[in-house]
C-alpha cells in the first residue's frame, strides 16, 4: 500500500513521498525498509531518529523522524487502523467441521464457521459470520450474535446471551456458577443454585482464562464496548457498564456495579455490593471497598483518593526520618525540662 493511500484511509497528513510502499507494521526498533512504524508513547521518542522504517505515524507536532511521516492528532488510533489494513485477516475455514457436534435444534446463521470438536447444545442460536474455533463448548439455549470470534476452549454455559462483534479469547468461561453458598448452623454450606442470566452486550472483548459468573437471581451483565483482559474474575450479579476497561487479573465481587468508562488497572479488585461511578479509575493492585463517586481516581488497599494515597506512600517511606525527628524532639524537650526543674 502506498503512503498516499494509507494517509487517505487513516485520515493522516502525509509528510514525504506518497508513492513509497509499505507492507508491514513494526516497532521503531524492529522496522526496516518497507515497514510502517509509529510513535504513540513519548517514552520511546528517543528511538525515533534511529528508526529504519520507511514511514512513521506520529503526533501532529512530533519532530525528529528520519523518514516520511503520517501525522495525526491520534497516532495510536491511526496505528491500530494501520495494523488492520496491513495485516491479512487470518483465513477461517468456512462451514461446520464434520468433526463438530451440533445439535439438530441449533440455528446457525449464514457463513458461520465451526471448527473441529466444537460442541453446540440444543436450542442454541449462532448469528451470521460468527467464527467458533475448535473445542468451544456452547451450552443449551445459549445465543451468540453476528460477526463474533470465539477462540478455542471457550465455555459458554447454558442460556448465556452474547451480542454481536464479540471476541472471546481462549479458555474463557462465560456463565459459570457464582460462588453462592448459605451457611448452615453446623458450619457446612448449602449451594444456592445459580440460575440467573448472563448477558454480554455488543462489541465486548473477553480475555483468555477470564470467568464471568452467573447469579442465583437476576443477571450478570457486561456493557457494550467493554474490554476485559486475561484472568479476570467477574462475579455473580455484577453489572459492568459500557466502554469499561478491566486489565489482567482484576477481580470484581458479587453484585458490584461499574458505570460506563470505568478503568481498573491490573490486579486490582472491588469488593461486593459497591458502586463505581462513571469514569472511575482504580490503580493497579488497589482494593475498592466502598462506593466511589463519578470520575474519581482511587488507589491503595483499601482504595482512597489517589493523590492522598501517593502522599501517604511518600510519607510512609519517610517514617524512619519522622521517628528520628520525634526522638530528637523528645531529647531536646527533656533537656529543657531538666534545666527548668
295 binds a copy of itself (CB under 8 A): no
67, 253, 257, 264: which one contacts a copy of itself (CB under 8 A)?
253
Is 184 near a copy of itself (CB under 8 A)?
yes
* Beta carbons within 8 Å of 283's beta carbon, 6+ residues apart: 265, 268, 297, 298, 299, 300, 303, 306, 309
Q: Is 192 in the site for a copy of itself (CB under 8 A)?
A: yes
Q: Give the number of other Cβ atoms within 10 Å of residue 332's Cβ.
A: 10
Stretch that binds a copy of itself, among 9-17, 61-69, 96-104, 124-132 (CB under 8 A): 96-104
Stretch that binds a copy of itself, among 9-17, 54-62, 63-71, 180-188 (CB under 8 A): 180-188
For 14, other C-beta atoms within 10 Å of its C-beta total: 20
Of 191, 172, 171, 173, which Cα lies nearest the Cα of 181?
191
Nearer to a copy of itself, 199 or 312 (CB): 312
- Judged by beta carbon, residue 173 or residue 281, the one nearer a copy of itself is 173
Grid coordinates of 53: 522504517
C-alpha distances out from residue 323 to 1, 56, 316, Å: 66, 53, 11
SS3 55: strand
Residue 127 Cβ, how far from a copy of itself at the closest point, in Å?
Answer: 19
Verify binding: residue 87, a copy of itself, rule CB under 8 A. Answer: yes
Name the catalytic one among 236, 273, 275, 297: 236
Cα–Cα distance, 28 to 35 (Å, whole number): 9
Near a copy of itself in 297-316, by CB under 8 A: 301-302, 304, 308, 311-313, 315-316
Among 71, 135, 221, 239, binds a copy of itself (CB under 8 A): 135
236 is catalytic: yes
Is residue 289 within 8 Å of 274, Cβ to Cβ?
A: yes
Residue 333 in the binding site for a copy of itself (CB under 8 A)? yes
Contacts with a copy of itself in 28-67 (CB under 8 A)?
29-30, 40-41, 43
Position among 8, 83, 128, 295 found at the interface with a copy of itself (CB under 8 A): 83
d(CA 215, CA 201): 17
- Binding residues for a copy of itself, how many (CB under 8 A)? 119
Ramachandran angles phi, psi of 112, nearest 5°: -70, 140
| Closest separation in Å from C-beta 319 to a copy of itself | 4
Q: Which of 141, 180, 172 is nearest to 158 (CA)?
A: 141
Q: Which residues belong to the active site?
A: 236
Amino acid at each position: 500500500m502506498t503512503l498516499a493511500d494509507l494517509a487517505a484511509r487513516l485520515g493522516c497528513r502525509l509528510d514525504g513521498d506518497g508513492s513509497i510502499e509499505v507492507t508491514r507494521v513494526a516497532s521503531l526498533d524492529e522496522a526496516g525498509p518497507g515497514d510502517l512504524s509509529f510513535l504513540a508513547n513519548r517514552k520511546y521518542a528517543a528511538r525515533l531518529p534511529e528508526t529504519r522504517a520507511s514511514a512513521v505515524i506520529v503526533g501532529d507536532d512530533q519532530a525528529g523522524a528520519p523518514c516520511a511521516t503520517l501525522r495525526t492528532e491520534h497516532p495510536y488510533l491511526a496505528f491500530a487502523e494501520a495494523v488492520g489494513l496491513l495485516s491479512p485477516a487470518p483465513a477461517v475455514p468456512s462451514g461446520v467441521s464434520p468433526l463438530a457436534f451440533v445439535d439438530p435444534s441449533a440455528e446457525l446463521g449464514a457463513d458461520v464457521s465451526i471448527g473441529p470438536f466444537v460442541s453446540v447444545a440444543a436450542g442454541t442460536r449462532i448469528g451470521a459470520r460468527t467464527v467458533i474455533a475448535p473445542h468451544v463448548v456452547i451450552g443449551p439455549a445459549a445465543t451468540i450474535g453476528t460477526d463474533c470470534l470465539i477462540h478455542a476452549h471457550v465455555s459458554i454455559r447454558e442460556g448465556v446471551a452474547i451480542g454481536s462483534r464479540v471476541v472471546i479469547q481462549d479458555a474463557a468461561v462465560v456463565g459459570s456458577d457464582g460462588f453462592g453458598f448459605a451457611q448452615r448452623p453446623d458450619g457446612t454450606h448449602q449451594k444456592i443454585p445459580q440460575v440467573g442470566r448472563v448477558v454480554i452486550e455488543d462489541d465486548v472483548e473477553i480475555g483468555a482464562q477470564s470467568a464471568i459468573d452467573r447469579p442465583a437471581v437476576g443477571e450478570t451483565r457486561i456493557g457494550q464496548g467493554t474490554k476485559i483482559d486475561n484472568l479476570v474474575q467477574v462475579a455473580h450479579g455484577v453489572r459492568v457498564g459500557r466502554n469499561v476497561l478491566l486489565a489482567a487479573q482484576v477481580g470484581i465481587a458479587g453484585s458490584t456495579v461499574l458505570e460506563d468508562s470505568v478503568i481498573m488497572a491490573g490486579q486490582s479488585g472491588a469488593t461486593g455490593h459497591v458502586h463505581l461511578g462513571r469514569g472511575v479509575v482504580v490503580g493497579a493492585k488497589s482494593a475498592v471497598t466502598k462506593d466511589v463517586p463519578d470520575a474519581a481516581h482511587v488507589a491503595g488497599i483499601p482504595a482512597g483518593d489517589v493523590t492522598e494515597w501517593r502522599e501517604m506512600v511518600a510519607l510512609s517511606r519517610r517514617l524512619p526520618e519522622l521517628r528520628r525527628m520525634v526522638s530528637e524532639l523528645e531529647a531536646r524537650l527533656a533537656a529543657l525540662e531538666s534545666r527548668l526543674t
